[in-house]
Amino acid sequence: MGNQTVVFANPPVILSSYSVVGPKEGQGPLGQTFNNIWKDGLHGEKSWEVAEGKMLLEAMQGAVKDSQVPQDEIDYILAGDLLNQIISSSFAARQMALPFIGLYGACSTMALSMALGSMLIDGGFARHILAGVSSHHDTAERQFRAPTEQGTQRAMSAQWTVTGAGSVVIGRSETGTGPRITAVTIGRVVDYAETDINNMGAAMAPAVADTILNHFHDLQRQVSDYDLIISGDLGAVGLALAIEVLKQSGIDMGTSFTDCGVMIFDASQDVHAGASGCGCSSVVFAGDIMNRIKAGELKRVLLVGSGALHSSTSSLQGESIPGIGHAVVIEA
Amino acid sequence: MGNQTVVFANPPVILSSYSVVGPKEGQGPLGQTFNNIWKDGLHGEKSWEVAEGKMLLEAMQGAVKDSQVPQDEIDYILAGDLLNQIISSSFAARQMALPFIGLYGACSTMALSMALGSMLIDGGFARHILAGVSSHHDTAERQFRAPTEQGTQRAMSAQWTVTGAGSVVIGRSETGTGPRITAVTIGRVVDYAETDINNMGAAMAPAVADTILNHFHDLQRQVSDYDLIISGDLGAVGLALAIEVLKQSGIDMGTSFTDCGVMIFDASQDVHAGASGCGCSSVVFAGDIMNRIKAGELKRVLLVGSGALHSSTSSLQGESIPGIGHAVVIEA
């Protein structure tokens, strides 16, 4: 095992966070924690894809406004989403008119953008960065599976893509008070040969376990060093598998390990294995987790963004689904 | 105009570069500069998509081998490609088993990966990084336009996607001799409302001009400060438009401005407006440009990766095609 973890000399500070979600997310157990809940997924636009781009833009503008940082002091946007050619991000970046770094890490993209953005700040290349991601249930269904109008029955292991966009503004250590990003672990692509496109959780679980193991190894830490270890988004099936893989590596994750995709909906919402989509971990982080860190309830959190690097093309060609996990340590 | 340009305190060094191309590229005027020329685009694989991933892997492995850097001293792969969910990159990264940062910048991705990789090195977060991108004529045609088997007539403003993969290993300033990356300018998304999907050059030209203008402004430089300014890949139509946009901003680009998409094929190869695809600028840079810098012919080069952030979905929905340009300064 090499050293995959970066510890920041001057931990960047999260100056603001902002979340926008769809109605189903607003009705879920975390509904009170979101900044803005849309009444429907189209929001007056002519397509879900256009609506998703607008949702991301709204989250980015909200984060910038709440940070009180003048927009011309933000040096980079780091963003990504699930749509082909990450169009939600590029269209949002077009409106923001700031230097744009486009990322793709599937549902791990929020953690990746925060990790990379923190490196750009601690490295002295940026004063502030804006990180943001989005996903949309209907755009994702249409692109990856079947149009929602078709009413295809979903597998019990399937996850429900969140309609949501989350964004944060991160600044240099001395620029403000707030939760700090103290370390990051960029993950490797891990593939246990899962081919079931209705079971992304299983495809991602080994990668999340790999990143957690490497993170613990690099920093000589253990589960008890964190108040919360939260993946995003394995769902119930993937979370159970990640716990099992870690157990086989000698690590008992105990009760402080959960998943954004498990938290955002409740059992009555008929989402089967839970939630997924870049938007999920971004809005859970921007809302609930940030609130609990600021309230002093959580002192040190490990957010492990988890991505299924799934493509319809490669899956139709018989390829398995590689997974990846990127970890970010946030401290009060 | 803000300051978009980063100047490195300890300019990272390009320790190696490696290029793999298809037969048409091998028959072009730069044929002698590539490390490996495949006899056909399938290379014994069962699909063009699998072949593209293998081509990128071959380029990455070639760059690592030539750099003589042990693989466990490479801290990150930064890679991207044109395929949905950047599968060529994630499948190549799966084989390399190194921490993976997935990028999407369309044809600008080679410049973006080198720019970001250099920041990670100069910031002290990496000892070495591996940057690499790929494109494949037949995978791109199938995904963005029409299957090549269909024999659709191409517009005269269309560019021919290069089948090629290029990769570089970049290390800390003190780790070796070779061309150095001294400054980078991350571009903004610029959109002049071009909607013609057969004219990506026109969609990208304003973004390239914007990045060049900002770069000159930030460093107080002018055209004559560079032996070569090379975009990748505007093609003939886009290059002429970029020259025109810059002229209207008071800058005469003279004779030292050209484009990778203009250089890689010659008029007899029936490519219409020239070449495009992430692979194009990566193999022209990894081969011809690196050779000429090492030979002392070029002392300071400005590579401006240019991306058309085009998606079939957004274009079918009537959206215009945003462009982006990222610039990297390479010095002998």
Query: pLDDT of A15-70, one tens digit each?
Result: 999 999 999 999 999 999 999 999 999 999 999 999 999 999 999 999 999 999 99
Q: What is the distance between the alpha carbons of residues A41 and A23, in angstroms, rounded to a whole number?
A: 7
The whole-number average pLDDT for the span B303-311 is: 96
Confidence of residue B1 (pLDDT cuts 50, 70, 90): very low
**pTM for this entry:** 0.98
Stretch (H or E) spanning B284: helix B278-284
Give residue A146's pLDDT.
87
3-state secondary structure A118-186: HHHHHCCCCCEEEEEEEECHHHHHHHHCCCHHHCCCCCCCCCEECCEEEEEEEECHHHCCCCEEEEEEC
Which two three-digit tokens encode residue A209?
Answer: 């376990």
Q: What is residue B109's predicted lDDT score, i.e. its pLDDT?
A: 98
Enumerate the domain spans of chain B: 12-174, 179-331
* Residue B177 pLDDT: 86
Q: Which pLDDT tens digit goes with each residue over B153-169?
A: 999 999 999 999 999 99
Q: Cis link prior to B233 (omega < 30° from 0)?
A: yes
Find chain A residues with C-beta within 8 A of B313's C-beta: 49, 83-84, 87, 143
Q: Which residue spans within chain B are E strands per DSSP?
A: 5-7, 13-21, 36-37, 76-81, 100-102, 128-135, 160-161, 164-171, 180-185, 228-232, 257-259, 275-276, 300-308, 323-331
Cβ contact A85–B311 (<8 Å) = yes
- Say which CATH superfamily domain A5-174 falls into: Stage V sporulation protein AD (3.40.47.40)
Residue pLDDT, tens place only, A63-114: 999 999 999 999 999 999 999 999 999 999 999 999 999 999 999 999 999 9
**CA–CA distance, A133 with A43 (Å, rounded to integer):** 18
Q: How far is CA A153 from the centre of its chain?
A: 26
Chain A residues in contact with B323 (beta carbon < 8 A) = none
* Cβ within 8 Å of B, A 186-225: 186-191
Q: What are phi and psi of A282, to 5 degrees?
A: -70, -40
Q: Could you check whether B12-174 and B179-331 share the same CATH topology?
A: yes
The rounded distance, in Å, linking the Cα atoms of A321 and B29 is 39
A176 has pLDDT over 90:
no
Distances (CA, A) of B133 to A311, B141, B278, B279: 18, 17, 6, 6
**Which whole number is the average pLDDT over B21-47?**
98
Does residue A106 sit at the B interface (CB-CB below 8 Å)?
yes
Q: Is the peptide bond before A252 cis (omega within 30 degrees of 0)?
A: no
**Cβ neighbours of A91 in B, within 8 Å:** 314, 319, 322
Do A100 and B187 count as a contact with CB atoms less than 8 A apart? Answer: yes
Q: Nearest chain A Cα to B74, which residue? A: A2
**pLDDT at position A213:** 98
| pLDDT of B176 | 85
Cα–Cα distance measured from residue A205 to residue A284, given in angstroms and rounded to the nearest whole number: 19
Nearest to B86 among A94, A97, A104 (CB): A104
Q: pLDDT-derived band of residue A177, with 50, 70 and 90 as boundaries?
A: confident
pLDDT > 80? residue A1: no
User: What's the pLDDT at A133?
Assistant: 98
By Cβ distance, the residue of B91, B116, B309 closest to A101 is B116
Nearest to B102 among A46, A97, A105 (CB): A105
pLDDT reading at B243 higher than 60: yes
Classify burial at B251, counting beta carbons within 10 Å of its beta carbon; exposed 0-12, middle 13-18, buried 19 or more. Answer: middle
B91·A119 Cβ contact <8 A: no
| Mean pLDDT along residues B217-223 | 97
pLDDT, tens only, A187-222? 999 999 999 999 999 999 999 999 999 999 999 999
Reference B117, options B332, B326, B296; nearest CA is B326
Largest CA distance in chain A: 52
B43-71 residue pLDDT tens: 999 999 999 999 999 999 999 999 999 99
Q: 3-class SS at A258?
A: strand
Domain B179-331, what architecture? 3-Layer(aba) Sandwich (3.40)
Query: Is pLDDT above 90 for A327?
Result: yes
Task: Provide the number of CB pairs (under 8 Å) joining chain A to chain B.
Answer: 156
A184 CB within 8 Å of a chain B CB: no
Q: What ipTM was predicted for this assembly?
A: 0.97
Residues of chain A with Cβ-Cβ distance to B87 below 8 Å are 309, 311, 313-314, 319
Q: Which CATH class is domain B12-174?
A: alpha beta
Compare CB distances from B91 to A75, A106, A322 and report the shortest one's residue.
A322
Whether chain A has a CB inside 8 Å of the CB on B101: the answer is yes
Rounded distance between C-alpha atoms, residue A120 and residue B215, angstroms: 19
Tell me if B317 and A186 make a contact (CB, 8 A cut-off): no
Cα radius of gyration (chain A): 18
Out of A94, A103, A313, name the one closest to residue B322 (CB): A94
Mean pLDDT of the residues in chain B: 96
Confidence tier at A299 by pLDDT (50, 70, 90)? very high
More confident residue, B241 or A148: B241
Dist CA A101 CA B48 (whole Å):
28
Q: Rounded CA gap, A193 and A78, in Å?
A: 30
pLDDT digits (tens, 9 = 90+) for B82-130: 999 999 999 999 999 999 999 999 999 999 999 999 999 999 999 999 9
